[in-house]
Amino acid sequence: MPLLIRKTLDTAGKLKILAQDSRYDLACACATSANEHRRRSADNKWVYPVVLPNGGTTYLFKTLLSNTCVNDCAYCPLRAGSEGARCTLQPEELAREFLSYYRARRVSGIFLSSGVIVNPDRTMELINRTAQILRRSQFRGYMHLKIIPGASESAIRHTLSLASAISLNIETAGKENFKPLSMNKDYERDIIQPIQLISRLTRPGNQYAGIKHTTQFIIGASAETDKEIISYSWKLYKELSLNRIYFSAYQRGLGQANLPGEKSDFTNSQLLTREHRLYQVDWLIRKYGFGADEIPLDAQGNLSLETDPKEMWAKAHPEFFPINLNQAEAKSLLRVPGLGQLSVERILELRKHGVKIHSLNALGKMTKNLQKAQIYTIC
């Protein structure tokens, strides 16, 4: 009988598969406007546009090291036993490909994650070896490395010694909500305790101070409420000093049939709106001085899908308004629906130079947001 020979995938072929599968991890790509996330470059799908804090754009090389996984995460299309083409990049292979893009100035950094190969520490060994090769090749740029749930302290410390930023996905809010998501991961041991460890190691004055620490919630795979997610987010920021929290809406059809998210009342479109509302809350907490207990929720503990949380708060607190544009402090101006950081900075700059503001037209073109702000302000 003739032999059936299967052609081995080359590096580019593996990258096409692995970069496509890395779309489920958005921890370097989400933001609050539609043009800032869930996009890839038109040609190489592993070249990923990312918006920087200053508003500029850079490009990261974003892929999985492997889409093979021994974990049973019920929401994940790459879970053990699921269908699909599987492949793994060797650390030397991935490092060589990244450096060719970096030296050609097509990317400025790398975001590297992976399915779980054999066990967490074996996977971290491969991720860290890739990072070591890059650092020894004189790459000093941005490197975001994923921490695999269940990784040992020694593996985490090794990652911190190499990375610019690290992340370990919290996945959901609390042990009870986590139970439907995985049978072979322990929420406290594999997720919460490593996040606490990373927090201690990256605090100011400690060995790895300055390494950015982020995490991500999967929204709607389990039956958690927005109130639970906001409460956990508040603690992650205030008690563990995380730099950023990301949210990824679960989309029905990706997970196992018995998953709560497959049976929930939320549509896929509503889950995306819910994700967006949580990003708005995140902004209110991180940038605008809101407390977790100030965020308006419905009787079920969820955010409004129709109205943004800042406007909901304003409607519930008519006694706080109107705000005088010529007198109010920045923290009060930031509570005005329609006024963001740039608008408030512009108001303060005008006042600093002795300019009396007679209308919001002083800020420029009368946008929809400024029209909304008119309702809540006086001059």
Residue 81: the pLDDT is 83
Q: At what angle do helices 309-316 and 268-287 cross, to 10 degrees?
A: 70
The token duo for 176 is 């009870």
Residue 4: the pLDDT is 40
Residue 93: the pLDDT is 95
Residue 22: the pLDDT is 77
- For the cut 80, the answer to whether the pLDDT of residue 55 exceeds it is no
- For the cut 70, the answer to whether the pLDDT of residue 54 exceeds it is no
Residues contacting residue 339 through CB under 8 Å, at least 6 positions apart = 333, 347, 369, 370, 373, 377
- Rounded to whole angstroms, how far apart are CA atoms 123 and 130? 11
pTM of the model: 0.89
Domain limits, CATH 1.10.150, in the chain: 317-378
- Rounded to whole angstroms, how far apart are CA atoms 166 and 70? 22
Domain limits, CATH 3.20.20.70, in the chain: 11-306
- For the cut 80, the answer to whether the pLDDT of residue 44 exceeds it is no
The mean-pLDDT minimum among 44-53, 178-187, 244-253, 340-349 falls in 44-53
CA-angle at 144, arms to 213 and 30, nearest 5°:
75
Query: Are 109 and 143 in contact, with CB atoms under 8 Å apart?
Result: yes
The mean-pLDDT minimum among 34-48, 50-64, 276-290 falls in 34-48
- Residue in 335, 364, 336, 286 with CA at minimum distance from that of residue 53: 286
- For the cut 50, the answer to whether the pLDDT of residue 35 exceeds it is no
The count of other CB atoms within 10 Å of the CB of residue 169 is 22
Query: Are 255 and 74 in contact, with CB atoms under 8 Å apart?
Result: yes
CATH of 317-378, picked from 1.10.150, 1.10.3470, 2.30.30, 1.25.40, is 1.10.150
The mean-pLDDT minimum among 46-50, 148-152, 163-167, 366-370 falls in 46-50
Residue 295: the pLDDT is 98
Average pLDDT in the 31-46 region?
A: 48
- Rounded to whole angstroms, how far apart are CA atoms 66 and 118? 11
What digits encode the pLDDT tens for the residues 295-353?
999 999 999 999 999 999 999 999 999 999 999 999 999 999 999 999 999 999 999 99
- Rounded to whole angstroms, how far apart are CA atoms 213 and 245? 9
* Percent residues over pLDDT 90 in the chain: 75
Average pLDDT in the 254-282 region?
A: 92
- Rounded to whole angstroms, how far apart are CA atoms 137 and 262? 46
- For the cut 80, the answer to whether the pLDDT of residue 42 exceeds it is no
* Percent residues over pLDDT 70 in the chain: 91
Residues contacting residue 118 through CB under 8 Å, at least 6 positions apart = 70
Residue 171: beta bridge partners? 217
CATH code: domain 11-306 is: 3.20.20.70
What digits encode the pLDDT tens for the residues 59-71?
889 999 999 999 9
Query: Are 329 and 354 in contact, with CB atoms under 8 Å apart?
Result: no
Q: How high is the mean pLDDT of the chain?
A: 89
pLDDT band with cut points at 50, 70 and 90 for residue 25 = low
What digits encode the pLDDT tens for the residues 67-110?
999 999 999 888 888 887 889 999 999 999 999 999 999 999 99
Average pLDDT in the 120-135 region?
A: 97
Residue 161: the pLDDT is 97
Q: Exposure string (b/e) for 126-136, b if CB count within 10 Å is 16 or more?
A: bbbbbbebbee
